Amino acid sequence: MGGFKKFLLRGNIVELAVAVIVGATFSGLVQALVTDLITPLIGAVTAGRKPDFADYSFTVNGSEFKYGDFLNHLLTFLIIVAVVYWLIVLPMTRLVSLFERKQADTTKECPECLSEIPIEARRCAHCTAELVPGSERPAT
């Protein structure tokens, strides 16, 4: 029981719970945006007969296919994915590339064993090859 208590009180589980709550709220907000603003706008542009996609359907052999509701959910999904990409994925990718660029400035590759070593190293810690300072070639 102590392990379970320790698991619940870790910071990661609390952060995950907050993320799920915020995500669900954000999803509801985007759903309202699609249903109340975007769908009527598209309906107004496309002849204005039915401003709500949820009413769009067709019938085949007595079975009703509600493709309009699917379109509402598809628009919601695309908006959420776009927001996640532009506000989370893109900034994180830039941050990681900036970090990797700074790391690349402090290390070089050993020409003998191809391991990463500090730029100022005179000898490789992995293969013990002697290196010429300021060069990437081994000393002869």
pLDDT of residue 2: 76
pLDDT digits (tens, 9 = 90+) for 6-18: 776 666 777 788 8
Q: Which residues of 55-70 are buried (b: 16+ CB within 10 A; e: fewer)?
A: ebeeeeeeeeeeebee
Does the pTM surpass 0.85? The reply is no
Domain ranges for the chain, please list them. 2-105, 108-140
Q: Which residues of 11-33 are buried (b: 16+ CB within 10 A; e: fewer)?
A: eeeeeeeeeeeeeeeeeeebbee
pLDDT of residue 11: 64
- Residue 50 pLDDT class (50, 70, 90 cuts): low
In degrees and rounded to multiples of 5, residue 123 shows phi and psi of -145, 140
pLDDT of residue 61: 92
- Residue 104 pLDDT class (50, 70, 90 cuts): low
Euclidean distance between CA atoms 34 and 72, whole angstroms: 7
Lowest mean pLDDT among 31-35, 39-43, 120-124: 39-43
Under CATH, which architecture does the 2-105 domain have?
Answer: Orthogonal Bundle (1.10)
